[in-house]
Amino acid sequence: MKGSTKEIIQRHGIKLTKSLGQNFLTDDNIVKRIVSTGSVGHEDLVIEVGPGIGSMTCELAERAGHVIAIEIDRHLIPALEENLKEYTNVTLINKDILEMDLEDLFKSEKVLEGVRSKFENIKVVANLPYYITTPIIMKFLEGSLKIHSMVFMIQKEVAERMAAKPGGKDYGALSVAVQYYSKPEMVFTVPPQCFIPQPEVDSAVVRLNIFQEPPVKLLKQKIFFKTVKAAFGQRRKTLLNALSNSGTFIETKEEIRGILERLGIQENQRGETLTIQQFAELANAFSIRN
């Protein structure tokens, strides 16, 4: 990329939009470290969400087979096109990631015809807009597009929640959802000084290694997520009360007490102490009648 992030923003008269989470990286070393964390190679097809003016896109294009960069803000497109003009392996899509049908990506986007079959793995690498971190990550995790791994720069606090183990205050519905689909790993933290404008929070780079097979066997996936939601819905309540007050299941409080006892879970435990395996056993017990 010719010029620093600051120079490019000035040259194109770009006004950064806070509501779109536009905190651009100014530190090339961080950009390189994020891309290295993604272990991107020529056999990979990389999806980048929110390329901004393309500082990470250029680095990805150097190393990946192909890059699909999805940017919502049309005002950034001229600068992006200029910065990416020497790369023939980048497809720029000016859309809202949350409005896109990822399952259909390679059919609905004419420009991507024939691209998927050329590459072994799909990897996602992005410095995410923080206002929609969770919906974006869940969209990739829950979707049927087969993804090898994902590397995201996100708020440090959210990264900690994703990687949290049972028993701590950070462990919640997000930890269970992310760890059902992947093995999260916090790789490094990034201070606000590495961005313009500086975000109000610390950031962290997290790598999600996607499971080929989920770590637990579920009778009904929907009931699993409902159980997790009910258990964490009222964090201060005991598990028995949280589950029976949630109105999610047809079982009476006494029946729920019986299920917990049968599974060797104390009724006065709290949701945050349950492992994914225990959530799965509980959900499978509820799956019989719900």
Q: What are the tokens at 187?
A: 């790789």
2: exposed, middle or buried (C-beta count within 10 Å: 0-12, 13-18, 19+)? Answer: exposed
**Contact region for ligand SAM (CB under 6 A) — 84-92, 126-134, 138-146, 214-222?**
126-134
Q: Does 38 bind ligand SAM (CB under 6 A)?
A: no
Q: Does 101 bind ligand SAM (CB under 6 A)?
A: no
Site string for ligand SAM, 50-79 (x = CB under 6 A): xxx--xx-------------xxxx------
Task: State the amino acid at position 49 in one-letter form.
Answer: V
Candidate residues 43, 86, 96, 142; the one interacting with ligand SAM per rule CB under 6 A: 96
Residue 55 vs 284, nearer CB to ligand SAM: 55
Q: Interhelix angle for 55-63 vs 28-37, to 10°?
A: 40
Query: Which candidate, 40, 13, 45, places its Cα nearest to that of 114?
Result: 45
| Closest distance of CB 132 from ligand SAM, Å | 6
| Closest distance of CB 107 from ligand SAM, Å | 20
Q: Does 21 bind ligand SAM (CB under 6 A)?
A: yes
Residue 289 bridge partners (DSSP): none
| Closest distance of CB 52 from ligand SAM, Å | 3
| Rg, Å, the chain Cα set | 21
| Closest distance of CB 202 from ligand SAM, Å | 14
Q: Does 43 bind ligand SAM (CB under 6 A)?
A: no
Rounded Cα distance, 230 and 242, in Å: 6
Residue 154 vs 285, nearer CB to ligand SAM: 154
Q: Per the omega criterion (within 30 degrees of 0), is the bond before 129 cis?
A: no
Site for ligand SAM in 213-252 (CB under 6 A): none
> Tokens 């890059």 correspond to what residue?
67
- Order of all β-strands in the sheet with 90-93: 90-93, 66-70, 44-49, 121-127, 149-155, 203-210, 182-190
Rounded Cα distance, 94 and 77, in Å: 8
| Closest distance of CB 93 from ligand SAM, Å | 9
Q: Does 263 bind ligand SAM (CB under 6 A)?
A: no
Residue 2 vs 165, nearer CB to ligand SAM: 2
Residue 38 vs 50, nearer CB to ligand SAM: 50
Q: Does 133 bind ligand SAM (CB under 6 A)?
A: no
Rounded Cα distance, 59 and 72, in Å: 20
Are 68 and 35 in contact by the 8 Å Cβ rule? The answer is no
Rounded Cα distance, 261 and 266, in Å: 7
Q: Does 22 bind ligand SAM (CB under 6 A)?
A: yes
**Contact region for ligand SAM (CB under 6 A) — 81-89, 95-103, 174-182, 210-218?**
95-103
Q: What are the tokens at 233?
A: 């819905």
Q: Does 20 bind ligand SAM (CB under 6 A)?
A: yes
Contacts (Cβ under 8 Å, ≥6 apart) of 186 = 159, 160, 163, 204, 205, 206
Residues in the chain: 290
Candidate residues 9, 38, 45, 127; the one interacting with ligand SAM per rule CB under 6 A: 127
For ligand SAM, the binding residues (CB under 6 A) are 20-25, 49-52, 55-56, 70-73, 96-98, 127, 129, 132
